[in-house]
Structure 1
């Protein structure tokens, strides 16, 4: 009798263990299913709607992806589920790259690209404000401007040179203000040297660009 009770007890423990194991595997399966479904659902959302909440989308994806990966350990034969997870990862990464391109700001216009090169990214916009130029940095601003023009003078079009002239005159106008705000004589001297370098470079190369355009037009 005692042996029967002992065997019954062992059977109950084994049954309980199997039931617990099945429940754990079922939960793991649902976690993986939820991950795969999330990736598919995100791909069906309009780009405009995604853009505003993209950080939240990525955070939720990371959470679900991590949970799905951990869930594999609770599935005995998980080759098929591993393949599903990897397929969803690939699908999401491709979608993420696509959205990165969609969400990217439009490329700056050629005129803005020129301004960025001459003064730094976003320093000069459509308002043409030079208020950020002061007695402490104006020499370095002239330096970057003149050296950039010198490095790229052979590639500028006539329109580029016209824009360069407008920008140069605006910088000169700012210098008149800065001189009253403590511009050092040393920096003033260095700026004068840069201006001497720029003037003939502008005149010669703009004339060359115009002549080149005339030759192209005749063709």
Structure 2
């Protein structure tokens, strides 16, 4: 009877070891899976979202990497897990290089103002990075800054009107119309009467000047095309 109890105890202990081993293996596999999924999720982010959260992304990546590499010692099929980790590392390094390049380019663009006639028209009229892509809603314009936005717009046009191409004038027209559309909303949000009058005066001077310059630019380009 005593021998039976000892044998039974050995079986229970062995089962306990096996259970712990299986649990450790499952945990290790999860760590590798989480690492792979995390890298794939970073790859799926758009450039702007990646740039805005890069410090947090890098910190979490380092933690996930440490967990995945520690898991290799527990896994029986270490070669397969190592292959998955290596592949994901390669993906991440590609994204990291791209993100660092984009961040560097952004810093250089912000540090060096574009000379007249070059760079983005949107940046010139509204400031670097204010207008993103084709967003023409101008939600950032409000009752407190709309007068200064119009003033910068008119001043920029007056300073560079001789350098714009026909295509530039078409873009400027689209920006101006989008700003006017936003003004209709801002007026309902508490735009002061004084600011409204100043904006009206700016528009009154800008409209005929823009029309003339745009018409002249088209005539000049047509003449050059005939030559």
Give TM-score, length-normalised by structure 2.
0.50
- Given that 1:158 and 1:209 are in contact with CA atoms closer than 8 Å, whether structure 2 keeps it comes out as yes
1:122 correspondence with 2:129: yes
Alpha-carbon distance, 1:53 to partner: 7.3
The residue correspondences of 1:70-85 to structure 2 (distance < 5 A) are none
**Aligned equivalents of 1:209, 1:190: Cα separation in 2:** 28
- Residue 212 of structure 1 is aligned with which of 215, 220, 224? 220
Corresponding residue of 2:151: 143
| Cα gap change, 1:136 to 1:50, in 2 (>3 Å) | same
**Aligned equivalents of 2:152, 2:126: Cα separation in 1:** 7
Corresponding residue of 1:52: 96
**Aligned equivalents of 1:53, 1:124: Cα separation in 2:** 26
Corresponding residue of 1:113: 120
**Aligned equivalents of 2:130, 2:188: Cα separation in 1:** 22
- Residue 203 of structure 1 is aligned with which of 194, 202, 211? 211
Alpha-carbon distance, 1:201 to partner: 1.1
**Larger C-alpha radius of gyration, 1 or 2?**
1
Alpha-carbon distance, 1:111 to partner: 9.8
Corresponding residue of 2:176: 168
Corresponding residue of 2:105: 104
Corresponding residue of 1:134: 142
- Residue 201 of structure 2 is aligned with which of 193, 200, 204? 193
Alpha-carbon distance, 1:121 to partner: 1.0
Pairs aligned (count): 128
**Aligned equivalents of 1:102, 1:112: Cα separation in 2:** 18
| Cα gap change, 1:103 to 1:138, in 2 (>3 Å) | closer
Corresponding residue of 1:36: none
Q: Over the residues paired in the alignment, what is the CA RMSD in angstroms?
A: 3.2
Return 5+ residue gaps in structure 2 as ranges: 1-89, 110-116
**Aligned equivalents of 2:146, 2:102: Cα separation in 1:** 37
